[in-house]
Amino acid sequence: MRSLHAKLALSFVVVALVAMVITVGVAQLVIAARFGDFLSGTRQAQAERLAQALAPWYRDTGTWEGLRIQLGGPGGHMMMRRWPERVLVMDARGRLVFDSGGGPPPTPAMLERWLRQGQPILVDGRTVGTVAVQGAVEAGMRTLEAIFTRSVRSAMITGGLLAAAVAAVLGAYLAGRISGRLRIFQQAAASIAGRDLAVRVPEDGDDELAALGRAFNLMAGNLQESEKARRNLVADVTHELRTPLSILRGGLESLQDGVIAASPEVVSSLADEALRLSHLVSDLQDLNLAEAGHLPLDLGRVDVGELVEGALSPLRIEAQLRMLRLESRLPSGLPAVQADARRTQQVLMNILTNAIKYTPAGGTITIAARVGAGRVAISVTDDGPGIDTGELRHIFNRFYRGDRARSRAEGGTGLGLSIARGYVEAQGGSIWAENVPPRGARFTFELPVQPD
């Protein structure tokens, strides 16, 4: 495999050489064309001057007959010596009356071309003949052109080779820098593959590699967080399963050994633990589905009053036992929400259960609702101890339990609020918590209004 470094440097050199070849070719074509123009311009000027010199001669003689003798004579001879090209003179009817020679014998086609390209000889505004200067291009001019072209070409080739050398050095330098940065990415990717998720690459600058670096670091950061979450989850699940399992095992072993009798209380407490375990497992399963966006939802029109009543009625006795007041303050005319009734009731029950659990006797728990921006917000406010500010941003995390919850015998698994959040967000809503002065906590969740 040829390295990127070599490839880039080579392509710089190739570009310089191709540019050189194209420039030399174009320059050669342009020079040849310009020289051609110059020569035909010169010939045209010569023909004009000859036409001007021949017009008075014709006016005097009235015929072209003696022209050959005239130009062949001493004066004409001189003239022809000054004009080394082939000079041709045609009369008014297009017949060749003079040919200085120095070219192939004239054919009718050549005669026609000379007449077309030649310069008319005018006497009193009448065309009496045509003079043309043709072929037999000065060897000197062509030699000059060849010398000029050759020197331009060699200058360009030298320049091109120098440019290629500079391009090679520059290309090698730039390619070295780029491939050096890419090597860092390669090593970092290899480290990630080897499960070293803490590795990061430099991301300063504003070019594509810096953008790649930022994307890479973001990916590594996310991977690291997911890995941490996975480890925590395994640790938390293990921890949560251990207690009920060891209670069950201990109880069953005691029964087996005959240490305790299989009284209805013992059996019922063991059954409670088994139930707790199965709740835990099904909660985790639902939570996983919700977070992965695969929670099956039965969305439909849900009346908020019925929803609140459905969540409150199973909890009324528990609230009474704890000497808590449950108040529902729903405004009249609330629109229905678009939701999964069973899951939304579960959300409300999780929040209410917490409020009942954490509010001391004599407290009040209020359910309220309001509508705005196409959403209905349902809130549960208690006048319990509230939530520590440091804990507020963690309480929706899986297995998170506040210090207070941990120290209480009835503290749950720390899944209630994360399930509430999972269910609400799966339905396109949002949920949050805040403390309310002078004391107490408020949990609010919003769901979209059912469209008509």
Residues forming the site for ligand ADP (CB under 6 A): 354-355, 358, 382, 384-385, 387, 395, 400-402, 404-405, 411-418, 441
Nearest-angstrom CA–CA distance, 368 and 358: 19
Alpha carbon of 31 to those of 21, 27, 139, 405, 406: distances in Å?
A: 15, 6, 17, 94, 94
Nearer to ligand ADP, 258 or 437 (CB): 437
Alpha carbon of 402 to those of 385, 391, 393, 445: distances in Å?
A: 12, 7, 11, 21
State the DSSP H helix or E strand holding residue 9, giving kind and residue range, or none if neither. helix 4-61
426 token code pair? 């799966």
CB of 394 to ligand ADP, least distance (A): 8
Q: Where are the beta strands (DSSP E) in 119-255?
A: 119-123, 126-134
Nearest-angstrom CA–CA distance, 49 and 28: 32
CB 107 within 8 A of CB 134: no
CB of 291 to ligand ADP, least distance (A): 14
- Provide the 10 A C-beta neighbour count for residue 307: 24
CB 264 within 8 A of CB 238: no
CB of 414 to ligand ADP, least distance (A): 4
Indicate the Cα dihedral angle 63, 66, 72, 77, nearest 10°: -50
Buried b (16+ CB within 10 A) or exposed e, 29-50: eebeeebeeebeeebeebbeeb
Nearer to ligand ADP, 85 or 383 (CB): 383
Nearer to ligand ADP, 216 or 358 (CB): 358
CB of 277 to ligand ADP, least distance (A): 15
Nearest-angstrom CA–CA distance, 435 and 404: 16
Nearer to ligand ADP, 149 or 366 (CB): 366
Residue 54's DSSP bridge partners are: none
CB of 438 to ligand ADP, least distance (A): 15
Nearer to ligand ADP, 54 or 355 (CB): 355
CB of 382 to ligand ADP, least distance (A): 5
DSSP-derived pairing of the beta strands 364-372 and 441-448? unpaired
Nearer to ligand ADP, 310 or 412 (CB): 412
CB of 413 to ligand ADP, least distance (A): 5
Residue-by-residue DSSP string for 44-99: HHHHHHHHHHHHHHHHHHSSSTTHHHHHHSHHHHHHHHH--SEEEEEETTS-EEEE
CB of 421 to ligand ADP, least distance (A): 9
Nearer to ligand ADP, 72 or 411 (CB): 411
CB 13 within 8 A of CB 179: no
Nearest-angstrom CA–CA distance, 49 and 168: 57
Nearer to ligand ADP, 127 or 282 (CB): 282
CB of 405 to ligand ADP, least distance (A): 3
Residue carrying structure tokens 């006795």: 317
Indicate the residue type of 229.
A
CB of 232 to ligand ADP, least distance (A): 15
